[in-house]
Amino acid sequence: MTIAAPHLGSPAGAWTDAQLLYALEEVVEKELNRHLQVAKDWMPHEYVPWSDGRNFPGLFEDGEAWEKEQSQVTEIGRIALIVNLLTEDNLPSYHHEIASLFGRDGAWGTWVHRWTAEEGRHGIVMRDYLLTSRAVDPDKLEQFRMSHMSEGFESDNRHSMLHSVAYVAFQELATRISHRNTGHQSGDPVCDRMLARIATDENLHMVFYRNLLKSAFQLAPDLTMQAVRDVVVNFRMPGHGIPGFERAAAQMAIGEVYNMRIHHDDVLQPVLRFLKIMEIDGLGPEGRKAQEELGLFMGGLDSEASKFDEKLAARKARMAARAAGA
């Protein structure tokens, strides 16, 4: 990468989004080519148990009303699947956000459209599976979708290209972990295989953004460190606007689909460790401050996660005792 500081004599942190987008174009092209070599195309319809499907009430006289007992999916699996699908449903808004920020031309534009196409498969296969296997109430699912998408979506990080890259580096991994754990907890091997396939895509997306973030540190270390600090400290999943999200998130935490311990150990730590975030030196005052605050936050989050672990273990012990006495 041969591009130098933004302007001779200007502060090291005086990068604009446009300059960073241009400076990182070579990296985006390299990572895009790597992604296209390793990513495998797959057919959503091959992961759906179509022979299990039957009509719902409506235009069809033989329609059968939905009931929980019609599916082997567990209650926590059902809750997590709804959250995960409704998050995927907001793809038009996500595309608008990143296309507006990263552009539609060159390697950036090619990546934006490729990413959108790959993400589109996730919503397709999840909805087809849920309806065919009768894992969720179809009427409520559609009502939730309409409510969620009608609210629109605005990223917390839309003000900054670096913040957006930092966010998706963590968020793609968080999504991968959420899908994978949902599959494990679903009680249905078909669902588990489907979500494992989706999780593989999400991991490749994470690698793209993680590697891009590493290159950003080489260009603008202070600004990138501040962006990572801000994103980690204020992290929210993109589906936080889903109706009833707080309650569903609490249930997913107890069900060990996604909680503080998982967030700390399986999402934040792997990316920060790859970036060797606490070993980066040569930072200016603001960069060092952000690095120190990031370290303090991670220590505090680890402590909070330990408290959650203790409460969860106590809850499991109580439930086991009740089951033994029943």
What are 243-298's pLDDT values in tens digits?
889 999 999 999 999 999 999 999 999 999 999 999 999 999 999 999 999 999 99
Q: What is the b/e burial string over 197-233, where b = at least 16 CB atoms within 10 angstroms of the residue's CB?
A: bbbebbbbbbbbbbbbbbbbbebbbbbbbbbbbbbbe
Residues 6+ apart with CB under 8 A from 318: none
Taking the alpha carbons at both ends of the chain, their separation in whole angstroms is 67
Lowest mean pLDDT among 107-116, 148-157, 159-168, 256-265: 148-157
- Helix, strand, coil % in the chain, rounded to nearest 5: 75, 0, 25
Rounded to the nearest 10°, the torsion over CA 169, 172, 174, 180 is -140
What is residue 1's predicted lDDT score, i.e. its pLDDT? Answer: 38
The pTM of the whole model exceeds 0.75: yes
3-class DSSP assignment, residue 24: coil
- How many CB atoms lie under 10 A from the CB of residue 153? 19
pLDDT digits (tens, 9 = 90+) for 88-102: 999 998 999 999 989
pLDDT band at 9; cut points 50, 70, 90: very low
Q: Whole-angstrom Cα distance, residue 223 to residue 143?
A: 42
